[in-house]
Structure 1
Amino acid sequence: MTDTQDSQRSNRRTVVACAGVVVGMTGLAYASVPLYDLFCKVTGFNGTPIQRADNGSDVIDRTVAVRFDANVVPGLNWSFASEVPEVKVKLGETTTVLYKVTNNGSKATTGIATYNVQPDLAGPYFSKLECFCFTEQTLQPGETLQSAVVFYVDPRLVEDGDIKDISSITLSYTYFPSKGGKPVEETSSTSTATTPIVQ
Structure 2
Amino acid sequence: MAIEGKRKTVLQTVGLVLVMGGLAWASVPFYDWFCRVTGYGGATGVAEATTGEILDRTIKVRFDASLERGMPWEFKPEVPEMTIRIGEEGLAFYEAYNPTSKPVAGSASYNVAPFGAGAYFEKIDCFCFEEQVLMPGERVMMPVSFFIDPGIVDDTDAKHTSHITLSYTFYEIDLPEEQAALDLKTDGASVN
Q: Same fold (TM over 0.5)?
A: yes
More helix by share: 2
Contact persistence 1:48–1:116 (CA under 8 A) = yes
Deviation at 1:180? 8.2
2:36 equivalent to 1:41: yes
In structure 2, how many angstroms separate the alpha carbons of the residues matched to 1:171 and 1:41?
15
Deviates more, 1:137-146 or 1:168-177: 137-146
Contact persistence 2:50–2:89 (CA under 8 A) = yes
In structure 2, how many angstroms separate the alpha carbons of the residues matched to 1:39 and 1:131?
21
Q: Secondary structure at the match of 1:133?
A: helix
- The C-alpha deviation readout for 1:101-145, integer Å capped at 9, x for no partner, is 110112221111110011111111111111122522221110123
Note the residue ranges of structure 2 that are not aligned, 5 or more in a row: 177-192
| 2:45 aligned to which of 50, 54, 58 | 50
CA RMSD of aligned residues (A): 1.8
- Aligned twin of 2:181: none
In structure 2, how many angstroms separate the alpha carbons of the residues matched to 1:162 and 1:119?
10
**Percent of aligned pairs sharing the same letter:** 44
Note the residue ranges of structure 1 that are not aligned, 5 or more in a row: 182-199
2:22 equivalent to 1:27: yes
Contact persistence 2:45–2:118 (CA under 8 A) = yes
- The C-alpha deviation readout for 1:70-109, integer Å capped at 9, x for no partner, is 1122311111122221111111111111222110112221
In structure 1, how many angstroms separate the alpha carbons of the residues matched to 2:46 and 2:163?
20
- Aligned twin of 2:186: none
2:89 equivalent to 1:94: yes
The aligned length equals 176
User: If the length of structure 2 is used for normalisation, what is the TM-score?
Assistant: 0.84
Question: Structure 2: which amino acid aligns with 1:146?
Answer: M
- Aligned twin of 1:188: none
2:130 equivalent to 1:135: yes
